[in-house]
């Protein structure tokens, strides 16, 4: 079974620190990887997508992909209280070009 695993947390970091969120996946043939942010009571919002090995930066967010080790991570620099949310990792597995498999999410709290 194709799976996406995340630490459920909760993860707490002080304001201004770097928050590091990790995700592993079981299908070695996966090609597309995504990070979603979900505030309590709201719908998931796409914040990063990454398709090739290495780092991808967008403002305070950096996604890192290592296909050999089958993990993808999200770094949030200069964390703000407004970053407090649940972060969902999602993967498009091989043979499922239009289906995303989601992890159960990591709850992040940024302490003022």
Partner 1 sequence: NAGVTQTPKFQVLKTGQSMTLQCAQDMNHNSMYWYRQDPGMGLRLIYYSASEGTTDKGEVPNGYNVSRLNKREFSLRLESAAPSQTSVYFCASLSGGSSYEQYFGPGTRLTVT
Q: Residues 12, 66, 80, 104: which binds partner 1 (CB under 8 A)?
A: 104
Distance of alpha carbon 17 from alpha carbon 5, whole angstroms: 24
Give the position of tokens 């090995």. Answer: 53
Q: Residues 27, 105, 108, 110: which binds partner 1 (CB under 8 A)?
A: 105
Site string for partner 1, 19-48 (x = CB under 8 A): -------------x-x-------xxxxx--
CB of 13 to partner 1, least distance (A): 22
Buried-state track 50-67, b at ≥16 Cβ within 10 A, e below 16: beeeeeeeeeebbbbbeb
110 forms beta bridges with 13
Query: Where along the sequence are the contacts to partner 1 (CB under 8 A)?
Result: 8, 32, 34, 42-46, 49, 88, 90, 92, 97-100, 102-105
């Amino acid at each position: 079974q194709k799976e996406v695993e995340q630490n459920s947390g909760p993860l707490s970091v002080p304001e201004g620190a770097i928050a590091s969120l990790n995700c592993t996946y079981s299908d070695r043939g996966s090609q597309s990887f995504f990070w979603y942010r979900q505030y309590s009571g709201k719908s998931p919002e796409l914040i990063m997508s990454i398709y090739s090995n290495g780092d991808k930066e967008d403002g305070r967010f950096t996604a890192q992909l290592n296909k050999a080790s089958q993990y993808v991570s999200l770094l949030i620099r200069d964390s703000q209280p407004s970053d407090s949310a649940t972060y969902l990792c999602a993967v498009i597995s091989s043979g499922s070009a239009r289906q995303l498999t989601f992890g159960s999410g990591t709850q992040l709290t940024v302490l003022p």
